[in-house]
């Protein structure tokens, strides 16, 4: 399986369990790795036979900006589900970063990474 990756998608969302997170929002960063067999697209130089990473990226940002959820695990699952709606995508790895998580000690980042595939 070939991999098409988009790293560092940024969007403001209102996800989290605390009222402040829901009211003020915060920046989330998303990395996606799409498992795609790129041979059909490459052999015909045909975009319609692969995953259009520009469209997928726009969909990911729309999910982050969309309906709030409590957990970044839920957010990652929503993103994975959307990516798998694309016919060429057989597997997806989604990492959601929450760099401004409400933690009282110094930290660099909080992430969840999930891998989902077609069943």
Nearest residue to 118 (alpha-carbon basis) of 81, 72, 63: 81
Q: By the 8 A CB rule, do 28 and 63 touch?
A: no
85 is catalytic: no
Q: Which of 98, 106, 107, 118 is catalytic?
A: 98
Q: How far is it, in rounded angstroms, from Cα 85 to Cα 44?
A: 23
Catalytically active residues are: 98
């Amino acid at each position: 399986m070939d991999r098409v990756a988009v790293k560092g998608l940024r969007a403001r969302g209102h996800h989290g369990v605390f009222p402040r997170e829901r009211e003020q929002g915060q920046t989330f960063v998303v990395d996606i790795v799409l498992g795609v067999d790129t041979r059909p697209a490459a052999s015909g130089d045909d975009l319609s036979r692969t995953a259009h990473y520009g469209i997928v990226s726009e969909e990911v940002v729309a999910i982050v900006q969309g309906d709030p959820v409590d957990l970044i695990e839920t957010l990652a699952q929503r993103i994975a589900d959307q990516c798998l709606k694309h016919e060429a995508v057989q597997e997806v790895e989604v990492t959601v970063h929450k760099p401004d998580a409400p933690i009282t000690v110094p930290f660099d980042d909080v992430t969840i990474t999930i891998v989902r595939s077609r069943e």
